[in-house]
Amino acid sequence: MKMTIYGAEKKCASCIHLPSALETKEWLEAALSRRYPDYPVDIVYCDIEHPVTEEEKMFSEKILEDEYMYPLLVAGGEVIAEGEPRLKAVGSVLESHYKS
């Protein structure tokens, strides 16, 4: 399963106390691989200042227009978490994906 985490080098004002999007990506990869070893996941980082794909451009624009805050975690075009992702919620998405 592929997930994309959106962020920027500069933290948003409301997220100053949270880890950066890159730190969140690294933490999430490590935590998911330990907790859900049978559910492979590929987490890709997207800098909202330099999106590449159309989906990345769409979500980056929404973040820049303050519709979402970052880090924003997306899988299959659906928002899984914004701000600080909860491992339990992300794990539920993984379980649903692999059990269906």
**What architecture (CATH level 2) is domain 2-39+51-85?**
3-Layer(aba) Sandwich (3.40)
Label residue 72 exposed, middle or buried (CB < 10 Å: 0-12, 13-18, 19+): buried
Phi and psi at residue 14, in whole multiples of 5°? Answer: -80, -10
Sequence spans of domains, the chain = 2-39+51-85
pLDDT tens by residue, 16-70:
667 888 999 999 999 999 999 999 999 999 999 999 999 999 999 999 999 998 8
Residue among 81, 4, 90 at smallest CA distance from 39:
90
Residue 20: what pLDDT?
A: 84
Residue 15: what pLDDT?
A: 61
Tokens found for residue 100: 């269906």
Residue 11: what pLDDT?
A: 63
Judge if pTM exceeds 0.85.
Answer: yes
Q: Give, for 82, the enclosing helix (H) or strand (E).
A: strand 78-82
Cα-Cα-Cα-Cα dihedral sign, residues 26, 37, 3, 96: negative
Banded model confidence at residue 83, pLDDT cuts 50, 70, 90: confident
User: What are the strands of the beta sheet with 2-7, ordered from one edge?
Assistant: 42-47, 2-7, 72-75, 78-82
Banded model confidence at residue 14, pLDDT cuts 50, 70, 90: low
Average pLDDT of span 71-87: 93
Q: State yes or no: pLDDT of 78 exceeds 90.
A: yes
